[in-house]
Amino acid sequence: MTVYQEGEFLISTDKDRLDIDVIHNWLSKESYWAKDIPRDIVERAIAGSMCFGIYHGDALVGFGRLTTDKATFAYLMDVFVLKEWRGRGLSKMLMKAMLEHPELQGLRRWLLVTSDAHGLYSQFGFTPMPDPGKIMTLAMTDPYAKKSAE
């Protein structure tokens, strides 16, 4: 399930290769959007998503996932490259692999939410929502804090 290879780095959609410990650790401790996310929720999110792992040898060094119907829509989320592997163009490699994946061609819309990576995503054609007044959301405040307190 290799979808892209460049030099010593490989991107794969094989969920069996994913290192859930690395993904959970990064999301729960390093991300601003999934701080304290429980491992079981990460596992469920991965199970229900199309996932892309970036590998150097057998080591997972980056990750991204899509929720998609593979026909009309894809929502991009949980994109990261481990700190020690940044600055090598891996996030660009990941975006290229996702956007060029054969099962994702002809989608009507891609969506993502970011607070700090506009520069990356704009290189691939992402723009601010033209009419944000049409978008609605139901956002839960601190959903993981409540879950872990039970």
pLDDT tens-digit series, residues 124-141? 999 998 888 888 888 887
The angle formed by the CA atoms of residues 4, 8 and 9, to the nearest 5 degrees, is 40
Q: What is this structure's pTM?
A: 0.90
Check whether 149 has a pLDDT greater than 60: no
Q: Which CATH class is domain 2-149?
A: alpha beta
Check whether 146 has a pLDDT greater than 60: no
pLDDT tier at 57, thresholds 50, 70, 90: very high
What does the pLDDT read at residue 98? 97
Q: Which of 86, 97, 81 is nearest to 6 (CA)?
A: 97
pLDDT tens-digit series, residues 59-108? 999 999 999 999 999 999 999 999 999 999 999 999 999 999 999 999 99
The angle formed by the CA atoms of residues 66, 46 and 108, to the nearest 5 degrees, is 15
111 Cβ contact partners less than 8 Å away, ≥ 6 residues apart: 73, 74, 75, 76
What does the pLDDT read at residue 145? 73
Burial class (CB in 10 A: 0-12, 13-18, 19+), 144: middle
